[in-house]
Chains A and B, each alone.
Chain A
């Protein structure tokens, strides 16, 4: 697989704050690459550097063989960028927005319509509605259409699903899968961990650093071996008791249960019995299915 995006050792500081700390990764052609991490992890700064809007202080970024600092003019037509909030002209209509972005890149909507047709389809019915009057999901589709209208090789999506309902989010990921068929390389960032599993590869980011990069399946498989669910009548007491135990590496609330990251000498039955002995009711401890969120918690805990 040919490498399309190659990021080598980039750093960016704002005064004393380090937004990006020595980041490196590469993305192959046609890959759907996810960047996940909480707000303030440095995702947007990274995107701004990839989009040639921000200059890295150290390191080098090559996209499609072009340097983002030196060859930015040649590079820009190859990039489709969708910033964090859907940046559209609210007082222009759907059609006017699309035509405007097409003319910015000097391309015709008709010629490239096949690429956006599956995304733009729903919007076709009201071309004269103002962008500001669209729902979140519709705005997202319009913004994506505008970012795609010039047939970019690389699509940079910065938190494209924030503020969009669950149905539209699901649709959106299906659309991205469709775009992959066209050979477009997609970098998508999100703070929703559940979305990450839909990517080919994910990079987990926190506090300006990349904690780990791998396929979602590989990442999760490492962690499932020693992960357990725990529940009891008194959840709060259970949490504090478990955290005191030497066999427990970490314990945190996860939905309606607790997740336990166990050490090698952890025996669920033994622990369950000892908890019953101190008077706790309805204690249940059983193996858990780990996901990206568990991994993320683990990685950020290790940092400290």
Chain B
């Protein structure tokens, strides 16, 4: 036990002495969360709209009034038909609304800057919604469950957590183990009477604790600054994250048994883990929209299951029973990775 304590203490010293890495590991999650939470959002706010009205009627006045008071729009005022192109081109307006009355029938046309199709689509839908408010006899009532304001930050929080833990746990553990191989100190650990299992644990425990600190920071920001609804499900969130952290640590261990240099370990874990996590985990791009082949590939990416379960827990506030499938998959992945990496470590410790 004293030996184990010495190993953990030594590893903690490595982590604390390496100030640069320390700062990155603490600040990267912070910056990413705040960036995705506030700066990068798929919502469209503040649409600048101008209008061309051929002849004012009671109806057109009402419609324009609605644009004026709607907080998603900035109404630029009425313009001449010849002005419209210049406005759109110069980027001073996002859309121009044409209103024309033919025999008391109102006809509306929307001209929208579709340089960014995602924004254009949203703008068109918004404008349509504002115009048609009174036209439809039986309006469709929409309830947006779980995320009533459709805040994209809600969606990003689980994704970012899925990415950060893979990054920190896998890369940091693998690099720290491979560094000992490079320096030759691993040989000294191996020729000492301590068992390889103790060496592995002595490596994993400090990084597990570091990950817990990061988890605490990220949860704190999510529930305060980003305003995720706080409920009892936070207990399950923490437990699920523990499982995912252990999985990421095992991944790092596996990489370290294969890689010979710190650089290989770094590139290995970054390329094998980072890109698939960002592209295929459903963090940014919905899995259902992917080709079937890539959907299949995404099944073996742990982050996919973690993110999906985290959405259920954090956003939908469902209880643990609903994430049974994800937990089972993540648990089996963890066991497979741990067994593989420990066996590999043992076999490489005595050739």
Contact = CB atoms under 8 A, between A and B. Distances in A.
A and B co-occur in one complex = yes
Interface string A122-162: 00000000000000000000000010000000000000000
A157 to B, nearest CB: 13
Nearest to B4: A103
Contacts of B14: 89, 91-92
A251 B13 CA distance: 57
Given A55-B350, A92-B10, A106-B2, A83 B188 contact: yes
B90 interface: no
A79 B187 CA distance: 13
Contact of A76 (B10, B184, B192): B192
A58 interface: no
B193 A87 contact: no
A100 B14 CA distance: 13
B192 A104 contact: yes
A53 B191 contact: yes
Nearest to B9: A100
A72 B191 CA distance: 9
B189 interface: yes
A51 interface: yes
Interface string B333-351: 0000000000000000111
Contact of B350 (A53, A85, A91, A101): A53
B183 A90 contact: yes
B145 to A, nearest CB: 52
B190 interface: yes
Interface string A271-287: 00000000000000000
A52 interface: yes
B314 to A, nearest CB: 38
B54 to A, nearest CB: 76
A104 B4 CA distance: 9
B6 A103 contact: yes
B185 A89 contact: yes
B185 A51 contact: no
Nearest to A156: B191
A104 B192 CA distance: 7
A96 interface: yes
B17 interface: yes
Contact of B185 (A53, A88, A105, A106): A88
A104 B184 contact: no
B290 interface: no
A120 interface: no
B17 A53 contact: no
Q: Which of B13, B18, B192: most chain A Cβ within 10 A?
A: B192
B257 to A, nearest CB: 16
Contacts of A54: 350-351
Contacts of A77: 193
Given A52-B350, A84-B184, A106-B3, A89 B191 contact: no
A85 B184 contact: yes
Contacts of A104: 3, 6, 188-189, 192-194
A70 to B, nearest CB: 12
Contacts of B349: 53
A96 B3 CA distance: 14
Could you say which of B6, B188, B194, B351 has the most chain A C-beta atoms within 10 Å of its C-beta? B188
A182 interface: no
A238 B100 CA distance: 111
Contacts of A298: none
B193 A76 contact: yes
A54 B350 CA distance: 6
B192 A83 contact: no
A81 interface: yes
Contacts of B192: 76, 101, 104-105
Nearest to B185: A87
A53 B187 contact: yes
Contacts of A106: 2-3, 193
B191 A81 contact: yes
Interface string B158-191: 0000000000000000000000000111011111
Interface in B186-220: 187-194
Interface of B: 2-3, 5-6, 10, 13-14, 17-18, 183-185, 187-194, 349-351
7 contacts: A51-B187, A91-B14, A91-B18, A103-B2, A104-B6, A104-B194, A105-B192
Can you list the 6 inter-chain pairs with the closest CB atoms, starting with the nearest? A87-B184, A103-B6, A104-B192, A91-B17, A87-B185, A83-B184
Given A83-B184, A88-B183, 14 more contacts: A52-B350, A53-B187, A53-B190, A53-B191, A53-B351, A55-B350, A55-B351, A85-B183, A87-B185, A90-B183, A96-B13, A103-B5, A104-B188, A105-B193
